[in-house]
Chain A
Amino acid sequence: MAADEGQQHPLKVYWIMWVALFVLSGFSYATDFMEDGALRTFFILFFMFVKAGGIVWIFMHMGWERLSLKLAILGPPIAIGVLIWLMTYEGFYVEESRLEHYGESTFEPQEVPHH
C-alpha cells in the first residue's frame, strides 16, 4: 500500500464490526446465566477470542497488514502460551500439596450483600 492511501477502508466494515461486537458481548454476557461446566467455559473463551480477533483484525487493521507484520506481532506471544500451559500445572501442583499436608481451607465465606 502506498503513503497516501494508508489504512483507509469503507465505513461499512466498521459499522458491521461494531454491531458484531455488541452482539458478541451480549452473548458472552449471556454465558453468565449458564450453569458452570465445560460448555460454558467453551463459550466464554470462544466469544472472547472472536471479539479479540475482530478488534485486532478490523479495528486495528491487522487484517489489511502484510503477513510479515502479522507474524512479527502474533508470533512472540507463543512464549506466553508456554508460560500459561506450565503455570496451570504448577498451580494445581501447589494446591494438591496444600490440601494433602495442610488440609482443606477453614474459610467460611460471607453472603454477598445485595443493594
Chain B
Amino acid sequence: MSKEIKYTEAFDELQQIVVDIEDGEITVDELSVKVKRASELIKICKEKLSATEEDVNLILKELEE
C-alpha cells in the first residue's frame, strides 16, 4: 500500500502530523504511533524524490545527446 501513495499525499500527511504534534493536539499516548507513521512517510517521500530525480536526469541527458 505504501508504494501506491502519492508523493503529494505523503507530504501532506507528513506535514499534518508535524502541525498536529506542534499544536499539542496529539497526546503522548498517540505520539509514538504518529512519529512512526511520520517516519514512514518521510521515507516514502525521499524515495519518490530520488526516483523522480533519476528519471528527469535520464530524460535530460537524452536531450543533450
A pairs with B: no
Binding site for B on A (CB under 8 A): none
